[in-house]
Amino acid sequence: MNYFKTALLLAGLTALFMALGYLIGGASGAMIALVVAAGMNLFTYWNSDRMVLSMYGAHEVDARTAPELVGLVAELAGRAGLPMPRVFLMDEAQPNAFATGRNPENAAVAVTTGIVQQLSREELAGVIAHELAHIKNHDTLLMTITATIAGAISMLAQFGMFFGGHRNNSGPGILGSIALMILAPLGAMLVQMAISRTREYAADNLGARIAGQPMWLASALMKIENAAHQVPNWGAERNPATAHMFIINPLSGHGVDNLFATHPSTENRIAALQQLAAELGGGSASAPAGQRYPSGSPWGRTSAPRGPWG
C-alpha cells in the first residue's frame, strides 16, 4: 500500500509539473518542461550523492579510521542483505543521519559526530538500520527525483509570473500566473512532504526489523528530536532543501522553511514502533541505555555489546 500511495503521489507531482508547463507555454511548453526535468533528473541520478555529501563537508571513514562505526554498518548491512555502503562522518554537533545514492550498489550512509557521541550503540544501530532501509527501498533515488521535480515546478512558476502564459485565450493571464506562482510550488511541496512521510514510516518499520528491536530506534528518535530543537545543524540551515533526507528534520524551526513539516511527527513514529515491538514480542517502552562511545573518540573501539544482528 505504501508503494502504491507513493506512486500515486509521484504521478500527481509529475502531472502538476506538466500542467504548469502547458499553462505557461502550451503543448510546446509542456514538452520543454518535460525535457528539462528529464535532464535535471539524469544529472541528479549520477551526481546527487556527491553533491549532498559535499554540502555537509562529509568525509569518508573506513575500518581503520572508524572501526566501531564501520563495523556496525557492516553488520547491519549484512543482516539487511545489502552491499556494504560507504560510510561518511559529518562534523556536526546535532545528532542526525541520512542515506544517499542512486541504488544499493552505489549507496552511502552519513552520520554526524553528534549522533555517535550521544547515542548508545543500540540506538545508533536503530538509526543506521533505518537508513539502510531507505537504501533497500530505493528511497534515496525516489526522494532525489521528487526534490528535483518540485524544484523544477518552482522554477517554472517563476517563469509563468514573468511571461504570463502562452499567447491564446487558454493562457493563465496575469492573475492566473500569480496564482500559479504561489499555488504550484505549494502543491509540489505538499506532495513532496506526503511522499517523504510515507517513506519515513516504511523505513522505520523495515529498519526496526533489520535491527531486531523497534524500541532502539524509538529511543533514538526521541533523543534526536529533542536535540534538533536545541543544537543547530548549520549545513542544513544553509541547504534547507535537503532537510527531508535526514532521519529527523534538522532545521531549527525559526524560518519559513519549517512552516510545513518534511517528516511525520516523532510521537506518531514512536507509537508505530511501539506497536511493532508488541507485535514482535519486544514491547519494552524504552531501549536499553547500552555502552556510549567515549567522548572525544566517538568512532574508536569500545566494549559495547554486540547486537542480535551479528
Residue 169 reports pLDDT greater than 50: no
pLDDT at site 203: 95
pLDDT at site 88: 98
Residues counted in the chain: 310
Largest CA distance in the chain: 73
- Mean pLDDT over 126-142 rounds to 92
Residue 107 reports pLDDT greater than 90: yes
d(CA 267, CA 210): 21
pLDDT at site 160: 60
β-pair partners for 154 = none
From the DSSP assignment, how many helices (H) and strands (E) are in the chain? 9, 4
- Mean pLDDT over 169-179 rounds to 59
| Residue that wins the pLDDT comparison between 229 and 155 | 229
What pLDDT band is residue 174 in, cutting at 50, 70 and 90? low
Closest Cα to residue 258, out of 289, 293, 233? 233
Share of the chain above pLDDT 70, in %: 67
d(CA 118, CA 162): 49
Q: For residue range 231-275, what is the model confidence (pLDDT) as tens digits?
A: 988 888 887 777 888 999 898 654 444 445 668 889 999 999 999
What pLDDT band is residue 7 in, cutting at 50, 70 and 90? low
- Residue 195 burial by CB count (10 A; 0-12/13-18/19+): exposed, middle or buried? buried
Q: Three-class SS of residue 89? A: strand
Place of cell 525535457: 35
Averaged confidence pLDDT in the chain: 78
Q: Does residue 34 contact residue 18 with C-beta atoms inside 8 Å?
A: yes
- Other CB atoms within 10 Å distance of the CB of residue 154: 17
| Residue that wins the pLDDT comparison between 224 and 293 | 224
Q: Three-class SS of residue 79? A: helix
When mean pLDDT is compared across 45-49, 67-71, 73-77, the lowest value belongs to 45-49
DSSP assignment letter at 66: S
Residue 171 reports pLDDT greater than 70: no
| Residue that wins the pLDDT comparison between 191 and 97 | 97
| Residue that wins the pLDDT comparison between 14 and 261 | 14
Most confident of 4-13, 72-81, 184-193: 72-81
- Other CB atoms within 10 Å distance of the CB of residue 83: 13
SS3 sequence, 97-134?
EEEEECCHHHEEEEEEHHHHHHCEHHHHHHHHHHHHHH
SS3 sequence, 259-288?
CCCCCCCHHHHHHHHHHHHHHHCCCCCCCC
- Kindly list the catalytic residues: 131
When mean pLDDT is compared across 172-181, 209-218, 250-259, the lowest value belongs to 250-259
Q: Which helix (H) or strand (E) holds 105?
A: none
Q: Does residue 203 contact residue 140 with C-beta atoms inside 8 Å?
A: no
pLDDT at site 65: 96
Q: Does residue 89 contact residue 110 with C-beta atoms inside 8 Å?
A: yes
Buried b / exposed e over 196-205, threshold 16 CB at 10 Å, is: bbbbbbbbbb
Distance, C-alpha 229 to centroid of its chain: 18
